[in-house]
Structure 1
Amino acid sequence: MLNGLMKNNSWFPTMFDDFFNTDFMPRANSTAPAVNVKESEKAYTMELAAPGIKKEYCRVGINDEGNLTIAIENKQEHKHEDSHRHYLRREFSYSNYEQNYILPDDVVRDKISAKVEDGILTITMPKTEPKEKVTKAIEVS
């Protein structure tokens, strides 16, 4: 619903539309993790749900265009052995996710941090300090 609201209302700030709407960007496969984005006074926080994910499988960075890049490679192997029949079965699960996100201008790119905990990749993107607005009359000569 929110994504539709952002696409259909021209008054919605384009910075947030660009940040949240990534439909035009290709994905490594169609099974993308669920993503939550929160905003506070001091930071944006992005959470990606990836059950069973380990930090070794995650890459987070800033590309040449200044965009946030997230790549997750998840490999799992399940073995089932039956010694009575000399039967061995292995089930491999392999999934890839890679996405670029356009960041708002107020993100301090060199202070972005990421952590994995309980199957959630959390990326914290601190905001710049708000600048004071300067108003003054300028004498015309």
Structure 2
Amino acid sequence: MRRNPFDELEDVLDRVTRQVEEGMNAGTGFPVPGSVAVDVVDAGKEYVVTADLPGYDTDEIDLTLSEGVLRLDASREEDVSVEEAHYLRRERTRRSVDRRIRLPEPVEEESVTAGYEDGVLTVRLPKVDEGEDSKHIDIE
């Protein structure tokens, strides 16, 4: 029996999608330009997001949370004095990175904290408690 050619195309697209997702999520596969590697950990009562941002100052990092999406933007300005230099090799250029991370559950936006040490940004996002305001609904 002959195989449907659209099945083959679908297999190829699935494989490419997996490789791109691996590049974005696991640091393997295709590198994603302008992106930054992150880890997102479910630590029980909070999510902990860590991102490698070596060479950035805290004032070059913009971190926002809106509608369940953590947005990380970082832009490193080029040193004006080096523009006149005669480079033999130049690999460390001005670089901007950004990343959007959708959180699986609501978080206490007022209680989010962030720290930056040795080029690693750590964001702690406490989950919303199911306090007395919420009511469990039984299904009959």
Shorter-chain TM-score: what band?
Answer: 0.5 to 0.7
Alpha-carbon distance, 1:137 to partner:
10
C-alpha distance 67-79 of structure 1, shift in aligned 2 (>3 A): same
Query: What TM-score, normalized by structure 2, do the two folds share?
Result: 0.59
- Tell me which amino acid in the other structure corresponds to 1:103: L
C-alpha distance 48-137 of structure 1, shift in aligned 2 (>3 A): closer
- Tell whether 2:41 aligns with 1:38: yes
Matches of 1:62 and 1:137, distance apart in 2: 34
Deviations 1:30-72 (A, max 9, x none): 0422211111122101111011121011111123x44221111
- Tell me which amino acid in the other structure corresponds to 2:107: V
User: Residue 56 of structure 1: SS of its match in structure 2?
Assistant: helix
Matches of 2:139 and 2:86, distance apart in 1: 79
Deviations 1:79-118 (A, max 9, x none): 77xxxxxx94265611111222222233112221212110
- In structure 2, stretches of 5+ residues that fail to align are 1-13, 19-23, 26-31
What residue in structure 2 maps to residue 61 of structure 1? 64
Query: What TM-score, normalized by structure 1, do the two folds share?
Result: 0.58
Aligned residues: 108
Alpha-carbon distance, 1:135 to partner:
7.0
Runs of 4+ in 1 over 3 A off after TM superposition: 76-80, 130-138
- Tell whether 2:86 aligns with 1:89: yes
Task: Please say which of residues 124-133 and 49-58 is displaced more in the overlay.
Answer: 124-133
- Tell me which amino acid in the other structure corresponds to 2:108: V
- Tell me which amino acid in the other structure corresponds to 1:42: K
- In structure 1, stretches of 5+ residues that fail to align are 9-19, 22-28, 81-86
What residue in structure 2 maps to residue 125 of structure 1? 125
